[in-house]
Structure 1
Amino acid sequence: MSATPQYGFTTTILHSDRQKEIEHGSIHKPVHTSVMYGYSDARDLAAVFQNKQSGYRYGRQGNPTVSALEEKISKMEDGQASIAFATGMAAIGAVFQALLRQGDHLVSSSFLFGNTNSLWQTISAQGVDVSMVDATDVDHVAAVLTPATRMVFVETIANPRTQIADLKRIGDLCREKGILFVVDNTMTSPYLFRPKTVGAGLVINSLTKSIAGHGNVLGGVLTDTGLYDWATYPNIAANFRKQSVRMQGLAQLRAKALRDFGASLSPEAAHQIAVGAETMALRMERECANALALAKMLDADPRVAVVHYPGLPSHPQHALASDLFRAYGALFSFELKPEIDCFDYLNRLQLAINATHLGDTRTLVIPVAHTIFFEMGAERRAEMGIADSLIRVSVGIEDTQDLLEDFSRALDPV
């Protein structure tokens, strides 16, 4: 019997559903809306509940449409299995709800998405010790490790200042110390980067962003890369130790986070995400090319104080980004000269939309300090290098020249 061919990224995603038999010859996995699953033999039902055979129990814990999406994501990340959630934040929260206990220690990059930063405050108040460090240098991570350190958490490219974690060396450190390395891959997407290549045990993606890509559906996902030895993780409950070692982490995550907290992805949302994912590579190529062109134009304009984008040689981690990522991403931020009001500038843009989102087909802009990072206060913003004039840009798929003219025209009255 001939071996299955090894296809490229987009071909694999396009034909993923068809690797298994689909009802009525459908090309896409159909949307299964039932929340319950009947069995003609009650022994089969019991066997499914006891994890002795595969099957579905209840919609909150699994669904055929959601499962098909989870398999797609696992292929994207070269992982062994994935769990989908209702939002990206639900996926992040699941890691800590299911795997951390009072007295545990978490090391996190200090350059974080605002809501993740807020979540750290919550778990810190619940008894988990959190150390925030500049993860662009592995030495900062190593300096705060303790015997209670259970995991290290980083984003690939920080939102919004685009700092890049010292991913490979942090992965090496975690492997040496037996610590779980958790990487949020949202800002790069599985197309630009696979955190498994730097030793990540768990990978997080906000499905809402580049994977779905059209700003019309929420979702998040956790992928187990198969690299972490769960036999060494002290917080796995006895009943999940009965699973194979490779699946113990996901089994506990699915039960303690997905089942118990109920942040389940709907089958309708899973279907939308799966269809959106088919064009991710095509969208990302265009968005990254647009972002590089726009960042270069703004960087050369004397009315712009600074542009933060890994694709620019002036970026502190430009060489690292060039080594790790397929492209430099579709998000950048920039600061205008002090005499230019950022709100007036944003209001002069005609194509770019004032909105809080990223990874969309449309270009989106937002004044960071006054919106998504306002809640954390001026002191914390200063620690993260977020100036009052900082504008975040999530670049879309518009025609490049139209974007260049829009951002340049908005500077003309200055």
Structure 2
Amino acid sequence: MAMPESACASAPTPATLAPQTEAELSAQVAQCHASARALEIAGGGTRTRRAAVPAATQLTTSAISGVVAYEPGELTLIARAGTPLDQIEQLLAAQGQALAFEPMDHRVLLGSNGTPTLGGMVAANISGPRRLQAGACRDHLLGVRFVDGRGRVIKNGGRVMKNVTGMDLAKLMCGANGTLGILTEVALKALPMAESQQTLAFAGVTPDAAVGIFSAALATPFEVSGAAFHDGTAWLRIEGLTRQVAYRRERLSALLRDHAIEIVDETASRQLWRDLRDVRHFAGSDAAVWRIHVKPTDAPAVLKALDMLGGQASLDWGGGLIWYAGNAAAAAVRQAAGAGVAVPVRPAPGTDLPPHPPQAPGVAALTAAIRRTFDPAGILNPGQMGS
């Protein structure tokens, strides 16, 4: 049910909008644009932070749900933004397909009870361990529909790769965290699910040795689909047809024969990478949790700097992603990150952290200009993305 314009303009306490359709969403956003009423955008509520503007009206897209079209033979799927991610994954799995970028489930780490949605995944560019091989969520986007900060409905992209022409707004929206527009529909490319997988485990190694293992393995043609490190153990995942996996395992074992190697079988391997994907090893901690994006070869030095602050750290993406759990000050974490980018994911209890680091002046000016284009009144998720 649409909120009356007067309510959106003058509600004394934060309200919640739950539009049922794209048209209803468009009308509500147009009303809030006219009154400069801030909106806190949420999908299924699994990653919701404290509203950056305390008086912001929360808006959820969870009711704008459902699969629009799925063509298994074309490896393409179109669905509305509020569609539960579990529903999408089950639909693809029934046809032997999957989302190649392996999106994590934040509920484990954040202790939240929401339902991950397709729109939330795209808005935050959620990508898991397979990103180092398959690319990120944005690399599999074919097109989007969204409502901008004026309430206008905008469509960009197509249903198949050959129809994606012109300015690629889909990739601009992916990872913008709802600051440029509110997604209502997305078109995605799926990929066949791997028939088999195994993992090579290297116990008792240092971060330097782990990154050395990753560098050697990822430089081969053996299609490593996961490279992670935690608590003294490094892991390499290989996936594909059963015979391919066996061949790659033997070749990688021969290449890395200077290290003791344990082979993790199919069932245990799948559970291991679900846990690594969801950062389950930091789920029970009360410490703040950070994502730090670095050049993989810089990872050992950054881990040493973080170790001096206390806490724990792990690696993913072959060293390109550091997960850090600790209660050091934000400035100290970002200094330890060096040239990397440190983003808080879970604040410590009773604290809050700005969601993104300060931007360089040139980047900040460009960001502000883009946001003014799509959201001139600045009502969409103010306080996000350095705004």
Q: Choose between structure 1 and 2: higher strand proportion.
A: 2
TM over 0.5: no
> TM-score, length-normalised on structure 1?
0.24
Structure with a larger share of its residues in helix: 1
